[in-house]
Every structure is written in C-alpha cells, then in structure tokens.
Amino acid sequence: MKKMAIISILSIVVYACSHKTTATVTKTETATSLTMEAKGALYAANCVKCHQLVEPEKFTKEEWVGWMDKMAPKAKITNEQKANIYDYLAAHAKAE
Ligand code: HEC
C-alpha cells in the first residue's frame, strides 16, 4: 500500500510535467484549497532533490513539524507550499 501511494504520487508528477503544468501553489492559495493529491504531488516534487521521499508513516505529526521546519529552508519552498506539504504528511503520519 505504501508503495502504491508513492507510485501514484509520482505518476501525478509525471502527468503534470508531461502536460507542461506544475503543481506549485500560487500566493493566494491556502493550505486547504488543494486536493490531497495535489499536496502529495507538491511533496513528491519538492522533497526528492537530496534524498528519497520519506514515508509519511515514518513520523508522527509532531515530528513532521520539526522536520518541515528543518527541511523547508533546504527545499526553498514558500510558506504556502510548506503548509500544503505538512498537511499531506500529517494526514498520513504515524498514529501517536
Ligand atoms: C537541499 C537538500 C534537501 C532537500 C531539498 C530536502 N531535504 Fe530532507 N534531508 C536533507 C539532509 C541532508 C538530511 C539528513 C540530515 C539531517 O537530518 O538534517 C535530510 C533528512 C530528512 C529527513 C529525516 C529522514 C530520516 O529518516 O531520518 C526527513 C523526514 C526529511 N529530510 C524530509 C524532507 C522534506 C519533507 C523535504 C521537502 C520539504 C526535504 N526533506 C527536502 C536534505 C534535504
């Protein structure tokens, strides 16, 4: 199941690229205006530059807050993108 989720995220990214659109967030959008798929695509697009995607289930929501604070500057993402990516990770995070 985990593999399937990652694969479907990646296929969304591939699809988006092949249609010359990007899944980036515009300044006016908030964390809640995107579908979960789009948030997952943002995660896949912005967080694989330096390492493989970490399974959302590896950490709890709280732990993801810390990782997002640490990784957002590295990934050079906007606050909106950070909020959207965190939303996706939190929705799939390890149960506390
Ligand atoms: C510029 C490179 C870079 C980018 C982009 C990046 N990371 Fe990282 N990431 C690292 C490095 C280096 C480490 C390991 C060192 C550390 O722990 O700080 C790491 C470690 C991690 C870990 C810990 C993995 C583990 O199993 O212990 C998580 C989780 C993580 N990154 C999440 C993310 C997320 C989410 C994003 C996208 C917002 C992201 N990273 C983007 C460089 C990057």
Query: Which pLDDT tens digit goes with each residue over 11-59?
Result: 544 444 444 444 444 444 455 589 999 999 999 999 999 999 999 999 9
Q: What is the pLDDT of residue 33?
A: 82
Give the whole-angstrom CA distance, residue 88 versus residue 82.
10
Q: Which of 52, 74, 78 to mutate to test the pocket of ligand 1 (most atoms within 8 A of CB)?
A: 74
Question: 5 or 39: which carries more pLDDT confidence?
Answer: 39
48 within ligand 1 shell (Cβ under 6 A): no
Cβ-based neighbours of 24, under 8 Å, separated by 6 or more: 42, 45, 81
Distance 65 CA to ligand 1 centre (A): 13
Q: Rounded CA gap, 76 and 91, in Å?
A: 22
Q: For the range 62-69, what are the long-range contacts, defined as Cβ-Cβ under 8 Å and sequence gap of 24 or more?
A: 62/96, 63/93, 63/94, 64/89, 64/90, 64/93
71 C-alpha to center of ligand 1: Å? 5
Q: Does the beta carbon of 72 sit less than 6 angstroms from any atom of ligand 1?
A: yes
Q: What is the pLDDT of residue 84?
A: 97
Alpha carbon of 32 to ligand 1 centroid (Å): 24
Residue 64 pLDDT exceeds 80:
yes
Q: How does residue 4 score in pLDDT terms, banded at 50, 70 and 90?
A: low
